[in-house]
Amino acid sequence: MNFKLQLLISQIYIHTAFLAGLVYLPFAFSIPIIIICQIIFVGLCGTVFYHRVVAHKNPIKPWIEKILLLLSWIGVSGSAMAWAGTHRKHHRFTDTVRDPHSPIHHGIVRSYWYAGGNEDIIRYVPDLIRKKLYVFQHTHYFKMLFGLHLIAVFVLPLQIYWACLVVPAFLMWFAGSSINVLSHDKNGAKNSDILGLLHAGEGWHKNHHEQPANPSFRHKADWGHKLYNMIRD
């Protein structure tokens, strides 16, 4: 089974489990968990680490980089190599048929569910191939995830399993995929204050495309950049 299909199946499970938790768990428990995970997994792991650091090569402290690489594993958004390769390809072929998650050319459903981890992504990450920990994460990504979830389901209370493994995976995927779907139209990349505030600055997507390597998305409410400044090297 290829990487993309494993990623799709994993996220269908995660989305189903997340919705089940919303239905059966009290809001007094679920809402604080969602807020905390939004900060850690959308903010730190998603927009700061996967996007600004790994994909666009902005430096952070090496020991924090290792921690975030391991923590982001829980996000079930693909390995850092796969995510960065897909994103770099997106910037290279933005809004063309070769853009891996263009909603104009590939449709909303495919752009949300089935855009990451193409077989050709390795050519876009020659820098990461030289880093053993990144290669290890990519090579063993699904084996480790499957083992972790299997153990956790049997060992942890279901509400703790939901909070620690399901919510982070749903939110990290939802943030990235909703930006893919909603931040490009027939006129190209566009900004959205609502998505920017919700997803740690990612909604100021036109600003980002104008200066891709800039760790700031050039908006005073870009709280992802504020997180980045706390851990930059």
Q: What confidence tens digit (pLDDT) does each residue in 118-147 have?
A: 778 889 999 999 999 999 999 999 999 999
Cβ–Cβ < 8 Å for 129, 122: yes
Q: Which residue, among 129, 126, 147, has the nearest Cα to 138 in the 3D structure?
A: 129
Percent of the chain, pLDDT > 90?
88
Distance of CA 15 to the CA centre of its chain: 14
What's the pTM value of the predicted model, to 2 decimals?
Answer: 0.94
Distance of CA 233 to the CA centre of its chain: 22
Look at residue 233 in the predicted model and tell me its pLDDT: 86
Cα separation, 45 vs 168, whole angstroms: 10
Cα separation, 215 vs 105, whole angstroms: 28
Look at residue 119 in the predicted model and tell me its pLDDT: 74
Q: Which residue, among 140, 92, 99, has the nearest Cα to 118 in the 3D structure?
A: 99
Domain count, the chain: 1
Burial of 186 (C-beta count, 10 Å sphere; 0-12/13-18/19+)? exposed
Cα separation, 189 vs 151, whole angstroms: 42
Q: What is the mean pLDDT of the chain?
A: 94
Residue 152 token pair: 């956790």
Cα separation, 166 vs 149, whole angstroms: 9
Kindly state the average pLDDT of the residues 26-48. 97
Enclosing domain of residue 179: 3-231
Q: Which residue, among 174, 176, 216, 208, has the nearest Cα to 190 in the 3D structure?
A: 208
Q: Is the pLDDT of residue 193 over 90?
A: yes
